[in-house]
Amino acid sequence: MLNIAVLVSGGGTNLQALIDAQNRSEIPGGRIAVVISSKADAYALERAKKAGIPTETLIRKEYSSQEEYDAALLQILDCYQIGLIVLAGFMTIISDNVIRHYENKIINVHPSLIPSFCGEGFYGLRVHRAVLEKGVKLTGATVHFVNEVCDGGPIILQKAVEVLEGDTPEILQRRVMEQAEWKLLPKAVALFCEGKITVHNGKTKIREDSI
């Protein structure tokens, strides 16, 4: 059973999707061992506590340097013997040091079809606002491994979502969450925990019997 750490900063809707999937026995190879928040008042912490999952709070400004913060994060991850890190709306920088320590063991969900509307500055409602401003007809979500390039790691799963007439950034955000993010993330976590994802030459391969 692989231990999973979910890193959060806000409401924790993607965390809740993982908790719900776990409760439905849809992540048979792993379990959420700890939820780590970058904010003491994040509602995601309440979701974790209701589910009986241990929580930790790690606030960047309480550390004098990135190195000290990295050491504290790595210590927590080591303490819980973490085999997979899931970034679920985590708004604090993950340093190259941590990424190298957990190479191809950190996954993130991004609210667009990478390589569109991703990279520096594209997060949350900013993504959906940009989608609407551009006038594209399809958007979606992507689950990918995290590497040193922002939103540049190997893609695991993607799902398209239609953009509708009259959409606002908030309406579109909700549709992308419901139709893509909350489905893709638990599936990607399950595939990883069952050892069904491999990375070769910067690309992922998923066992054919898993799709």
- In whole angstroms, give the CA distance from residue 179 to residue 182: 7
| In the block, residue with structure tokens 């893509």 | 180
Question: Considering 101, 110, 128, 144, which one is annotated as catalytic?
Answer: 110
- In whole angstroms, give the CA distance from residue 39 to residue 144: 24
Burial class (CB in 10 A: 0-12, 13-18, 19+), 179: middle
Per-residue model confidence as pLDDT tens for the chain (211 residues): 999 999 999 999 999 999 999 999 999 999 999 999 999 999 999 999 999 999 999 999 999 999 999 999 999 999 999 999 999 989 888 999 999 999 999 999 999 999 999 998 999 999 999 999 999 999 999 999 999 999 999 999 999 999 999 999 999 999 999 999 999 999 999 999 999 999 998 999 998 665 5
Q: What is the pTM of this model?
A: 0.94
Domains, the chain: 1-102 (3.40.50.170), 109-211 (3.40.50.170)
Find all residues with CB under 8 Å of 176, minimum gap 6, and list them: 111, 128, 139, 140, 141, 161
Are 192 and 172 in contact, with CB atoms under 8 Å apart?
A: no
- In whole angstroms, give the CA distance from residue 61 to residue 49: 24
Judge whether 101 counts as a catalytic residue: no
